[in-house]
Amino acid sequence: MTSVSDKNRVLIFDTTLRDGEQSPGATMSHNEKLEIASLLDEMGVDIIEAGFPIASQGDFDAVSEIAKNSKNSVICGLARASFGDIDRCMEAVKHAAQPRIHTFIGTSPLHRDITALTMDEMADKIHETVTHARNLCDNVQWSPMDAIRTEHDYLCRTVEIAIKAGATTINIPDTVGYTIPRESSDIIKMLLERVPGADDIIFATHCHNDLGMATANSLAAVEAGARQIECTINGLGERAGNTALEEVVMALKVRNDIMPYNTKIDTTKIMNISRRVSQVSGFVVQPNKAIVGKNAFAHESGIHQDGMLKNAETFEIMRPADVGLSGTSLPLGKHSGRAALRAKLEELGYELGDNQLKDVFVRFKELADRKKEVLDDDVVALMQDTGSESQNEYIKIKHLRVVCGSEAPQTADIILEIDGEEKHCTAQGDGPVDAAFKAIKELYPTQARLQIYQVNAVTEGTDAQATVSVRLEEDGRIATGQSSDTDTVFASAKAYVNAVNRLIVRRTKSAPGADTKEVSYKDAG
């Protein structure tokens, strides 16, 4: 663990797999969690909050497996202020080379009312639970949930108790995104000045983005003395999300002249993990999102283009290569070979073996036959679609034909392979997509409710690929499917089938030991 003597070192605590996954509809499969954890580990994240082990057997298994596989990162689990939660957390993270227990309780008047504890009773509970955690693990983090709205005197009192009980990191969460930069800074300064032992531990900041200031609030806390930032990839998280890892890391890198702090994040890996998190969560990154948005390094204005041609620094404060993008262009089309495709994939951050490249090349050629030019975003969509097909496919689309026009109803003729057996159906609907979904549902009946249907054009033009995201809900289980194709209806059908396949997997696991959230809980941020 980094010591507090490293005054300019800022630890990056990633909670994509815990707080990020709590975002409605962002639930990830076991294998997806392991993959994201591996990418975070490789990127140089200091602490990975891998989940909430008491929530379900699935969460416990994921945290345990991530702990076993971690090479560099501290692996952390979340636990409420109870011995049972803390014991279960330790059981999950104990396999890590560097385990951490993160325990919390809501300290604001609003949260004290919920727990029906007096200030003194809560203080005793903090002492007992943090002491218990420290007896199990040398690395203990404690959070006063809703710290920003906690009375300052009581906040100082509870932080002092946690430090004396053995907490090595104190996290100050802005649980509801309520603070502003000045207040975020002032609270950290106050705790450092007023709390005995504060100089011997690390203060962390955990900000939500409800007022759009999560990144600014986190950086203000660092300038005040906090040395750990809690964040997520793409700012994923409940409500308006959390502090975005890519934003705080690049802000510290680009403005190191006035914020002389450093992290150990390999920023060239940012784009790759951003795309993967977007795919597995089903949350599309908005085009104008800082650092990782599609338009973050795009210049359309004539004045901007002229300036860029003369000197890129005129309108770019960071190089595309700094976050894993290339400033050069390698046009791809139907005449391109494997070498060109491999070069483009490597440029975009994908490393494929020969067999993987062979499979992707076939799909690339099919796409190139339908498009005049295959752009970078097309290749990314192709890789994401390829990744989605690696999951268990109980249902596959063998044939789809739709008939549509100005006169309703529309018709979809489909053949599905279900558990190895081909089945045929023709259905009508209010539009070709509705007809296709009804045909799929007739061949494989399900009570799943369509929560979200979203279509995004990957590139411009009439031959653009469409990336379709479909979210289904069935008996509390949520599954997201995604697919890309130049045929929007076909992409929609594939995305729907992908989501159904995920539901089937989760349905089979919903007996005891299921990967579902079985415990009602509140987070530490």
Say how many C-beta atoms besides its own lie within 10 A of residue 333's C-beta.
Answer: 12
Q: Judge whether 209 is annotated as a binding position.
A: no
Q: How many residues does the chain have?
A: 525
Highest mean pLDDT among 208-212, 318-322, 346-350: 208-212
The β-bridge partners of 204 are 171, 228
| Residue predicted with more confidence, 406 or 451 | 451
DSSP string, 53-73: TTS-HHHHHHHHHHHHH-SSS
pLDDT score, position 523: 46
Strands across the sheet containing 421-429:
395-403, 410-418, 421-429
pLDDT score, position 299: 47
Q: Is the pLDDT of residue 164 over 90?
A: yes
pLDDT score, position 248: 98
Model confidence at 353, pLDDT cuts 50, 70, 90, reads confident
Cβ 507 vs Cβ 473: under 8 Å: no
Q: Judge whether 299 is annotated as a binding position.
A: no
Amino acid present at 391:
Q
Digit-coded pLDDT (tens) for 211-262: 999 999 999 999 999 999 999 999 999 999 999 999 999 999 999 999 999 9
Give the CA dihedral 184, 190, 195, 197, nearest 10 degrees: 70
Write phi, then psi, for 77 (nearest 5 degrees).
-120, 155
pLDDT score, position 304: 45
pLDDT score, position 349: 76
State how far the alpha carbon of 10 is from the alpha carbons of 58, 147, 204, 241, 281, in Å. Answer: 31, 21, 9, 21, 27
Model confidence at 54, pLDDT cuts 50, 70, 90, reads very high
Average pLDDT of the residues of the chain? 87
Q: Judge whether 8 is annotated as a binding position.
A: no
Three-state SS annotation for 346-400: HHCCCCCCHHHHHHHHHHHHHHHCCCCCECHHHHHHHHHHHHHCCCCCCEEEEEE
Give the CA dihedral 350, 354, 355, 359, nearest 10 degrees: 60
Digit-coded pLDDT (tens) for 478-519: 888 888 888 899 989 998 998 898 888 877 766 444 444 434
Q: Judge whether 19 is annotated as a binding position.
A: yes
**All domains of the chain, ordered by start, with CATH?**
11-281 (3.20.20.70), 297-328 (no CATH), 395-508 (3.30.160.270)
Lowest mean pLDDT among 38-52, 265-279, 407-421: 407-421
Q: Is the pLDDT of residue 323 over 70?
A: yes
pLDDT score, position 437: 94
| Mean pLDDT to the nearest integer, 324-343 | 70
Rounded to whole angstroms, the Cα distance separating 163 from 127 reads 9
β pairing state of 395-403 and 410-418: antiparallel
Digit-coded pLDDT (tens) for 274-322: 999 998 888 888 888 999 887 777 644 444 444 544 555 565 778 887 8
Per DSSP, the three-state class of 180 is coil
Digit-coded pLDDT (tens) for 364-423: 887 777 766 677 767 777 776 665 444 567 898 999 998 887 777 899 999 999 988 999
